Amino acid sequence: MNNLTSLIEEMKELDSEITALEDTKKPLQKRYDELRLELIPSAMAEDDITSLTGTFGRCTLTSDLYVSAPDKAALHAWLNESGNGDLIQPTVNSQTLKAFCKEQLKNDFDFPDGLLKLTPFSRAVIYTK
C-alpha cells in the first residue's frame, strides 16, 4: 500500500510540474507568435527583404492563409456546384464518438464486428481536496 501511495504522490507531483510548464509556455508562445506573425514580417517588408541568412540559419517569409467556414452548408453547396465536391469529407468528432461508444457499452450494446476498435482501459485520476 505504501508503494501505491508513492506512485499516486509521484503522479500528482508530475501533474503539478506539467501545469507549471504549460503556464510557462503560454507567454513564450505568445511572444514567438508575435515575432513570427507580426514583428519579423513587418521588419522584413519595411526593408524589402524576403530572405535573410545569418548565424541562426535562414529566415524567409512564407505566404499562408487562415480559412474558416461560418456556413458549412453553403460552403458544401458551393463546392458541389463548382465541381469541387470531392473536397468534402464527412467526419465524426472523436470525442463525440468516444462518448457514444461508452454509453452504448454501458447498455451492453454489441457493435458490428470490425467496425470499430474499442480498447477499454483504466486510468488513475487524482481529485484534490
The pLDDT profile of the chain, 129 residues, written as one tens digit per residue, is 789 999 999 999 999 999 999 999 999 999 999 999 999 999 999 999 989 999 989 999 988 888 889 999 999 999 999 999 999 998 999 999 999 999 999 999 998 888 999 998 888 787 777
What is the structure's pLDDT at 126?
72
58 occurs within a structural domain: yes
Specify the number of domains making up the chain.
1
97 occurs within a structural domain: no
Task: Tell me which residue range forms the domain holding 45.
Answer: 2-87
Q: In the structure grid, which three cell numbers stand for residue 126, read together? A: 487524482
Q: In the structure grid, which three cell numbers stand for residue 19, read together? A: 501545469
Check if the beta carbon of residue 68 is closer than 8 Å to that of residue 74. no
47 occurs within a structural domain: yes
What is the structure's pLDDT at 125?
81
